[in-house]
Structure 1
Amino acid sequence: MGCCNKKCGLIATVIVGGILVILGGIINVVFEDLFNQILLQESVIAVGTLMYDNWIEVATPTYLSYYLYNMTNGDEFLAPRKPYVKPNLQEIGPYVFREYLSKDTVHFLDDDVPQQVYYRQKTMIVFDRERSAGDLSDLVTTVNPIGASMPAIVDFVFSQRNQTTPNAIYSALNTIYRTTGTELIFTRSVNDILFGFQDNFFDLIANLVNETTGVEIPDFGLFSTYNDSRGWFDYQVYTGKDATDLTNIITAYKNQT
């Protein structure tokens, strides 16, 4: 009886194990194909897919960190003395912002194959004081990007015409600097430098641009057009619907493995 039971148990184990191996192979093949099919369906930018909700409004938290350089010897640097005094720069920051990304004016172009979608990228950033090393009201002494860049811009314009900038132009710039009170080194708050401030010299340029092109530039800031999407953020991309790119990628990966 004992030997029979052991023998029967061994046979049963082998049979069950063989069945499980066969089922495992079948399930593996079926599961992989099923997974790839679901992946293809849910990766499409279309209402009702898993991709769509996170595409419309990105749920993953993202942060932007800004660092600035504060010049601690601005007066010495500008003083007309010899030998030349190197600027002493102190890195300050980070000033951290939580970034919120979303889409609006979404319009699906159904006539295109593969299908495309037009949308406007909206970006809003909110200051995160707890993650930051300082406050947006912190004052920074640094190079005035408006005054410092203007001679280079003028030189570029004349170089495009294969001409050398006349000395009279530099004299006119110096006059404008004195008239508008523009300085090479200035002190502004972090918020002003990042997101915009009023400047007499910049207002003069902005008015000239407005009269020439009709484009209004309200203020100047290194990232003044980024927050609340004041810049150009219109896109047209493929939705993945009726496209074979993802299918080809999956097929190539399966062939390699």
Structure 2
Amino acid sequence: MLSKCQFGTIAGVGCFLTLTGAIFLASWSSLFDFVLNQQLTLSPTSYSYDLWKDVPIPVYLEFNFFNWTNPDDILDSDPDVRRPKFVELGPYVFKELRKKVVLGWHEKNETVTFLQKRTWHFEPSLSRGSLDDVVTTLNVPAISAAFVIRDYPTFVKGALNAAMILLGTNLRIDRKVREFTFEGYEDPLLDLAAILPDGFLPVTIPFDKFGWFYTRNNSETYDGIFNMWTGKGNIQRFGQMAEWNYNNPTPTYQSYCGWVNGSAGEFFLPKPNKDSVSLFSTDICRTLKMPFKEEVEVDGIKAYRYWGDEYIFDNETRNPDNWCFCPSGECAPHGAIDVSTCKWNTPAFVSFPHFYNADPSFHRAVEGMKPDPKVHQLFLDLDKRSGIPLQVEAAMQINMLLQPYPEYSILKDVPKLYFPIFWFKERARIDDDIGSKIRLLNQVPAAGNILFGMMFCIGLAILAIISFYYIDFRRQRRSEADLKLVGT
């Protein structure tokens, strides 16, 4: 027989378990999200800080160059003969290390200003070929020089043509992969531009050599100055760009096309929706909006995949809202975007590799393009709960607008086409250490629901048992009382 004290204690335990279980079952999801958001919100003491400051996920950068096999035919009168033919070389793979250099935390508007330092190391074992491989391609400095002064007076163009003839400038150029990537190579036209008076050219060229990634390796300043929302006070701004190079909008594009928004790269909003995500890319000075594609699993973690679909590089004709993404005045056919104002007025256009998802005219103008959706896509996989990137493959191609200029001997008879130079892919995937932590993180909500559900059920069971016990106890007391009355 239980004493009143024992009865009260057991009943109290039952009430506590039932009430606690019920409260946490109702609020556990919101409470977990609150704690998760607190840890995601960027600060020097948050869990996300270490993941952000020194990115632990292995990142790889692959270069694939288009070797021009018939450069001597470019001036032939037969269109089929002069059509450029290409053989792809590569990939040449570099491992990337990425670190942040914090310039300041701003409590007033809850942002952080930082630089991004990226370092690349060549990985011969993952590559096909050597950095000493020679690539034949278009002479980009020469094409760019003609493009930059296209609206200048005739005598200026004549002077440039005379300089090209004097310097022996050719339309083709043969250089090693290491020179085209990070090491760069000297070019007489760059030397000439360096001695011109300030203001003579519409842009200032900050390089003494040409190379697509020249001065970028181990640089803290190349990618510009980022200002990003930390998420404090408003988790819906977490990881989103506020300014770039102290500007919003950026002067690269007109109107709303220059707005700086979207993710800065490492962080996306928790619980992403099945609509789209946006990412600001410093390589093209604009935001890319990637629509939702499908649900996937990455190392056993459920994720949402967002991708670059056939509309992401639409021109003004297919999407009138993109009118302001044509800074040079002429939109390319759909599938390539004009990044000339982002790249020192070089007539550069970005597409997917091998003109994947692009207008057929790109393919007709050249030979050797073999688009493959399995290789040439752009996609991003985000954890369904935290929004942490699990896997990314960002593939893009650099093309130069080659067009005839009657003022220049090497350009007056060339065809107009978008000349593929190289394509690159940046890929990253979570490692086992981070993957195990994310899997554990995703198990916590279910584990909490099970735990608090068990508490609620056990509490109810205790209350039910103690209620039955109490009813039986009262029944026995009444029976004993009845017997005493009968006895009297």
Query: What band does the TM-score fall into relative to the shorter chain?
Result: 0.7 to 0.9
CA distance in 1, matches of 2:126, 2:59: 13
Q: Tell me what 1:218 maps to.
A: 208
Q: After superposition, give the CA deviation of every residue in 1:153-205 in whole Å (9 maximum; x if it has no partner).
A: 221x34xxxxxx52x44432221112222211010011111222111111111
Q: Tell me what 2:126 maps to.
A: 131
Query: Of the candidates 27, 35, 38, which is equivalent to residue 35 of structure 2?
Result: 38
Q: Tell me what 1:83 maps to.
A: 78
Matched, 1:243 2:229: no
SS, match of residue 140 in structure 1: strand
User: Which of 68-77 and 179-188 deviates more?
Assistant: 68-77
Higher helix share: 1
Q: 1:26 to 1:236 in 2, by over 3 A?
A: same
Query: Which amino acid in the other structure matches residue 130 of structure 1?
Result: S
CA distance in 2, matches of 1:172, 1:124: 40
CA distance in 2, matches of 1:86, 1:250: 49
Q: Tell me what 2:113 maps to.
A: 118
Q: After TM superposition, list the pairs within 5 Å mapping 1:121-200 onto structure 2.
A: 121-155=116-150, 157-158=151-152, 165-166=153-154, 168-195=155-182, 196-200=184-188
CA distance in 1, matches of 2:119, 2:125: 18
CA distance in 1, matches of 2:135, 2:22: 66
Q: After superposition, give the CA deviation of every residue in 1:208-230 in whole Å (9 maximum; x if it has no partner).
A: 26687987522111222432235
How far did 1:96 drift?
1.6
CA distance in 2, matches of 1:211, 1:203: 16
Q: After superposition, give the CA deviation of every residue in 1:125-151 in whole Å (9 maximum; x if it has no partner).
A: 222222211111110011010112222
RMSD, aligned α-carbons:
3.2
Q: After superposition, give the CA deviation of every residue in 1:22-43 in whole Å (9 maximum; x if it has no partner).
A: 8765543343133112112101
Runs of 4+ residues deviating >4 angstroms: 20-27, 209-216, 249-253
Q: 1:126 to 1:251 in 2, by over 3 A?
A: closer
Q: 1:250 to 1:58 in 2, by over 3 A?
A: closer
CA distance in 2, matches of 1:236, 1:26: 40
SS, match of residue 124 in structure 2: coil
SS, match of residue 122 in structure 1: strand
User: Which of 217-226 and 53-62 deviates more?
Assistant: 217-226
Contact 2:37 2:235 in 1 (8 A): no
SS, match of residue 130 in structure 1: helix
CA distance in 2, matches of 1:252, 1:178: 57
Consecutive unaligned residues in structure 1, runs of 5 or more: 1-19, 159-164
Q: 1:190 to 1:211 in 2, by over 3 A?
A: same
Consecutive unaligned residues in structure 2, runs of 5 or more: 1-16, 239-268, 274-488
Matched, 1:109 2:101: no
CA distance in 1, matches of 2:86, 2:116: 36
SS, match of residue 227 in structure 1: coil
Q: After superposition, give the CA deviation of every residue in 1:40-88 in whole Å (9 maximum; x if it has no partner).
A: 210111122110001101111122222111111223435xx54352222
SS, match of residue 90 in structure 2: strand
Q: Tell me what 1:231 maps to.
A: 222
SS, match of residue 37 in structure 1: helix
